[in-house]
Structure formats: structure tokens, C-alpha cells
Amino acid sequence: MNCPHCQSQTIVKNGKDYHQDGKAIQNYLCKGCGKRFNERTGTPANVVSLALKRRSEGMGVRASGRVLEKSHGSIMGWEQKLATQSQPAQQEQIYQWREMRVTLALARTSDSTGWTIHRT
């Protein structure tokens, strides 16, 4: 096994995390870069993309997690990461989006945070 962050092979076991169902997930520590990870670290980009697409089409966080066999916490983390890395739209882009009659907005309510598509 290699470190998903630096590809080093100098890794050691570093405890376990236990889920509510009693399943244990082995944690590892990379001696090369010092980062922690587990066997589930490094979800393929296509799975992340599919999860975000399902959320933008109105599927709930927990339902998306069940369908993709990922935790709802992971999906919310991907949404948060996308929201913090996204640049605010420039005025020119907003006009182009309006011409297409589709507006993409980040919804922040007390219930959930996610992408919503408003069609006009």
C-alpha cells in the first residue's frame, strides 16, 4: 500500500476507527509526509462527480450516500470543498447563464447546504 498523498511506501498502522455498525477501519500514518489516511481514502473523482450531480438534481445527502455506498459526511465534505474552492461568478458569466435560462446557486439553509439548479 502507498500513501495517497505522496505515494511513499513508508507507512505504519495508526489505530482503528469504529463505525456504529461495529466495523473497524484501519488507519495508517505515512512516515514520508506525516499525513494520516485509511483504506477508504482516495475516492475516485468520478464517484465524487456523480455524488455532486445527484445532489444538484435534488437527491438528499443520505440517499446519495446510500446509493453510492459512501457516508453522508463524505458527500457533505465534498460539497463544502467545492464551495470553498469555487470562485465567485464574474458578471459576464452570470449574463451567459441567464441567456441559457439556467441559474446555478449555492443553497445555504438551516437544513442543508448544496447546489441547486433554478430553471426559468
Class for the domain spanning 45-119: mainly alpha
In DSSP terms, 25 is beta-bridged to 17
Q: Look over the chain and give the mean of its residue pLDDT values, rounded to a whole number.
A: 77
C-alpha cell at 70: 459512501
> Is residue 101 very low, low, confident or very high in pLDDT (cuts 50, 70, 90)?
very low
Structure confidence at residue 83 (pLDDT) = 81
Return all residues near 25 (Cβ < 8 A) that are at least 6 apart. 16, 17, 18, 19, 38, 39, 40
The model's pTM: 0.47
Helix axes 45-56, 61-68, angle to 10 degrees: 140
The per-residue pLDDT for range 10-57, each reduced to its tens digit, is 999 999 988 777 888 889 999 999 998 887 777 777 888 889 899 989
List, by residue range, all CATH 1.10.10 domains of the chain: 45-119
**DSSP symbol at 90:** P
Structure confidence at residue 114 (pLDDT) = 57
**Chain centroid offset of residue 104 CA:** 18
